[in-house]
Structure 1
Amino acid sequence: MGIFEPFRAIGYIPSGVPFSIQRLGNETSVTVSVGKAFQVYNCGKLTLVLFSPQLHHKIHALASYLDFTSVVYAADICVFKRAHQLATWSRHSGKVNSLMVFRDHAISVDVDGNLLILGFKGVEENYAPVGHIMMGDKFTPTCMMHLDTYLNKVLIGSQEGGLQLWNVSTMKMLFEVKGWDLSVTSCVSSPALDVVTVGCADGKIRVYNTRYDEEVVTFTHSMPGAVIALSFGTDGQPLLASGGSSGVISIWNLEKRKLQSVVREAHDSSIIALHFSANEPALMSSSADNSIKSDYVDCKRGGCYNSFLVLPYASAFLK
């Protein structure tokens, strides 16, 4: 064994894992994966707040809840309170590829289609799951989300193109959408009741009403590639932001049902995650090009402005 162990890489900001937004009181922070560790930035100025110790494997999913950060590496889920490791949950037999925390539930899905529901009321070592759902051979989960106002319900997208709505308390499937025969690559809840937006591998964005089982409107990216990230504006502007493998961010006007603007040089690589700040016209984005950006979106000006990059010297260390 060598004398030195890796501690922190200079200029390493985010990896290819979607970030997690955490709001406590008036403070909002963003947690990003940096290989075998994670970092927390203040959303206001994008300054580094804290960083975690190195784990044994690379992180490939993370989620934040109150003061807790849950990260996935290999088949394990590791729970931190700020930068202090509290517990490790080892309940999956296969690699975990998705993790979501909402209210008192932590939900994880592995490559074999096993969905485990963990109670998050207390953090204990190897806490026993309160529920288990097997998705089946013809439904390979790719993304999941909690619908606003839907108590204990989770919508899951699949590689086969279908959607399933599950009640994680009763562990029963409520309904299934056959889909569009194309992989669902992202999904997000809208401010409107019963409405979700689904991004697909063919570059199409489908705004879908779950109550009436019908599409409201469909948008198509002008650039080729899958729709990887989606976010709705919450400041009164009827906007939807989308990003994909081309590195371009598209802003859609939902009221006029058309493309509002395109940020063509948003990032140099795939858009990994997007997030509109609560009640503000600020859009945060992260990319596989090792950067986080925050842009102000204004319909009156027709697009985005005042964009800035976190630590732009980082690319010099990594490329």
Structure 2
Amino acid sequence: MLRHLHTLSGHQNPIYALASPAVKEDVFFSAGNDKGVVEWSLKTMTFVKVLAPVQSSVYALHSYNDLLFIAQRSGLILVFDIKLEKVTATLSHHQKGVFDLKTIAYKNELLSTGEDGTVAVWSLKDFSLLYNFPVLQNTVRTIAISNSEEEVALGCKDGIIRVYNSLDYSLTAELSEHKLPITSLQYSPDGSSLISGGRDAQLKVWSLPDYQLVNNIAAHMFSVYTIAFHPTQPYFATCSQDKSIKLWGANDFKLYKILSLEKNTEGHFHSINKLIWSSDGKYLISTGDDRQIMIWEFNS
């Protein structure tokens, strides 16, 4: 189902972020504790170029239409135009590191959050700050947007998932089954559930629209850093600080594959921080503290 295809080297420090742009299907971007965002080719499996220099570590990348948003440890967010190949705006609000970014298309808005515990709402028209609101006193780690874009779920350091109405950003639910900080969140593509992963190494499945806890999976040994649904097939992948990648059934929540050096497969030798699927679903891309990027070929 997943077969190691290639390992890409070049980063000098841990990598925290990956993004696959819709406008260029055969490339992806990576960034971390280095001085730049890097473009790689999926066609040739090679380094293409340093896309943009950065002043501090990059914690998150998010692509939307022609734009790549680059969230930094300094709190600044760079807006990079992929077609023009240049930074066109710098968003300044957060006083501490920005950990996640998401867009809400129907409102033409960008959301950002991170170490300062606030959510900032930006206009995608002129990149002005429209609104910001406090969530908690410390870190908000991750944002998930529901398929309808009507709900925004935030994974917080206190172990609580807070769900907001995207229309007016009013709080509608608090889910508090995790015992440790939330480190990953994803709505399922079929709209039936929200899946959360935490520093408690658990995956929790919440049914929609009522957010009832319907499944609890002891998924990893340490923090679950990414939950990534395949774009077309009923599977999702998770990665962890425990150096493993796991492939799960999206309907039966069965474990189908483990990729780990400990299981005698190819794998990372340090914490895996990020996973993404290529836009066509052919490849799973993983990266982490070992400074390597691994490309895995997917066959259902």
The interval holding the TM-score normalised by the smaller chain is 0.7 to 0.9
- CA separation in 2, counterparts of 1:275 and 1:59? 17
Q: Does 1:94 align with 2:56?
A: yes
> How far apart, CA to CA, are the structure 1 residues paired with 2:99 and 2:268?
32
**Aligned partners of 1:166 and 1:249: how far apart in 2?**
31
How much does 1:128 deviate?
3.1
Q: For 1:150-299, what aligned pairs fall within 5 Å after superposition? A: 150-151=107-108, 153-222=109-178, 224-236=179-191, 238-264=192-218, 266-278=219-231, 280-298=233-251
Choose the corresponding residue for 1:308, options 257, 280, 287.
257
Unaligned 5+ runs, structure 1: 1-44
More strand by share: 2
Gaps of 5+ in 2: 271-300
Amino acid at match of 1:70: F
Q: Distance in 1 between matches of 2:119 and 2:175?
A: 19
Partners of 1:61 and 1:97 within 8 A in 2: yes
Cα distance, 1:79 vs. partner? 1.0
**Length, aligned pairs only:** 262
Higher relative contact order (CA closer than 8 Å, sequence separation 6+): 2
Answer whether contact 2:202 2:224 (CA < 8 A) is retained: yes
Letter in 1 for 2:117: G
Q: What secondary structure is seen at the aligned counterpart in 1 of 2:86?
A: coil
- Cα distance, 1:293–1:77 mapped onto 2, change above 3 Å: same
Provide the rounded CA distance (Å) in 2 between the counterparts of 1:115 and 1:318.
Answer: 30
| 2:7 matched residue in structure 1 | 51
Deviation (angstroms), 1:297: 4.0
What corresponds to 1:29 in structure 2?
A: none
Distance 2:201 2:51 in 1: 35
Structure-2-length-normalised TM-score: 0.79
- Per the TM alignment, residue 279 of structure 1 is displaced from its structure 2 partner at its CA by 5.8
Aligned match of 2:27: 68
- Kept in 2: contact 1:235–1:278 (CA 8 A): no
Query: 1:131 & 1:185 partners in 2: Cα distance?
Result: 24
Deviations 1:129-157 (CA, angstroms, capped at 9, x unpaired) = 111122253x5422111224343x31001
Q: CA deviation at 1:244?
A: 0.7
**Identical counterparts, % of pairs:** 19
Partner of 2:126, secondary structure, is: coil
1:147 counterpart residue number:
104
